[in-house]
Chain A
Amino acid sequence: MDPNIANNPELLQFLAQEKERAMVNEMVAKMTSVCWDKCITSAPGSKFSSSESSCLTHCAQRYMDMSMILMKRFQQQ
């Protein structure tokens, strides 16, 4: 097997997959950080209240909605 990355389709695919995984991980981490700040306003309890957990769920979805809107606006510029 050719260890030269540029000639090795398996390695190229692996790197592409890991890159995508890294991007997803980055997005989840960023969103969790932002939504934690928005939704968990008091000291953490032994479980989330229902308002805290729905806030977190909604926060992620609204963040994605907002991203789409921003991208569209940016493409229109």
Chain B
Amino acid sequence: MDSYSSPPVGGASPSPEVLMEQVKTQLAQAYAEEFIETVRVKCFDKCITKPGSSLGGSESSCISRCFDRYIEATGIISRSLFTQR
């Protein structure tokens, strides 16, 4: 799956442009996975207070709201960091 750990066909190394694209893609993927994992933990904590035998309707809507709020919180935090006095 990792396209630059196997030797390329023909023995030529990937061009710098290809390398840069691969790095950007892999970084974006890593950021997304880390973000999802964080949201998973936070929203489970806030929304599933007493795990039942199935996911209730209120729990589902809480999770949905929690996801939106966490994205919003990330935006608020990054904006307040980059508009410093």
A-side residues, CB < 8 A to B, are 1, 3, 8, 10-11, 14-15, 18, 21-22, 25, 27-29, 31-33, 35-37, 39-40, 43-48, 53, 56-57, 59-61, 64
Inter-chain contact B24/A18, CB cutoff 8 Å:
yes
Q: Which residues of A contact B14 (CB under 8 A)?
A: 3
B-side residues, CB < 8 A to A, are 13-16, 19-20, 23-24, 27, 31, 34-35, 38, 42-43, 46-47, 62, 65-66, 68-70, 72-74, 76-78, 80-81, 84
Q: Given contacts A28-B78, A43-B47, are A1 and B73 in contact (CB under 8 A)?
A: no
Cα–Cα distance between A54 and B84 once the two chains are bound (Å): 15
